[in-house]
Amino acid sequence: MLIDGIVYDVIIERKNNKNTYLRVKDDLNIYVTTSYLTPDFMIKKFVLNNKDFILKQMDKMEKRLDKKLEYYYLGNKIDVVIINTLKKTTFENNTLYVKNKSEIEKWYKKQMKMVFKEHLNYIYNKFTKDVPYPNLVIRKMKTRWGVCNKNLKKVTLNSELIYKDIKCLDYVIVHELSHFIHFNHSKEFWKLVEENYPNYKIVRKEMRE
């Protein structure tokens, strides 16, 4: 669900409840417990009505997680330096200089849009099959690195890829573009993946580990 320009996962649990409850957990997802009879539009309205509470809880969780958080960018561990008087966020020599903590997430999101788009374009232009140029969506996902929606001509990439080595991003893009030709994981599908990313087995194994 989109809240203030950020996509959050909403996990709905239906029980024999009369009321609807909302929680934000350490995984930074929104959990809603409600009745079996509550329609989806009412759940959406309930979440949006509690937007301020959700954002406050997200901020608390992020601050708590920051204490034990290590920062990575494209597979490399980076240092983050906060300078209150800084006018412009700067990244150099594997160090990110920001004015405050809220600027860290903004920088990552900016990098996601730029890097993911750049690599999508590069791989798309070299792809060995004729596939539609996809609409790119970036969001945090718990169980998938990427998703291809063939009907909507859309590829969704997991925002977590910004922390991984760039080869992981390239493999996932090749994987999802290949689904426009083979919407399965058949031998033909993997053959097409290998055709466009010969070392995919190595990268795939590393990502699983």
pTM reported for the whole predicted model: 0.68
The answer to whether the beta carbons of residues 168 and 117 sit under 8 Å apart is no
Q: What is the DSSP letter of 133?
A: P
**Average pLDDT along the chain:** 89
* Short-list 89, 115, 116, CA closest to 104: 89
Task: Domains for the chain: give ranges and CATH numbers.
Answer: 2-65 (no CATH), 71-106 (no CATH), 110-208 (3.30.2010.10)
Instruction: Say how many CA atoms lie within 13 Å of 149 toward its Cβ.
Output: 10
**Order of all β-strands in the sheet with 10-15:** 10-15, 30-35, 21-24
Task: List helix spans (H) across 50-159.
Answer: 51-66, 102-126
122-168 confidence digits (pLDDT tens): 999 999 999 999 999 999 998 899 999 999 999 999 999 999 999 99
- Residue 63's pLDDT is 67
101-125 confidence digits (pLDDT tens): 889 999 999 999 999 999 999 999 9
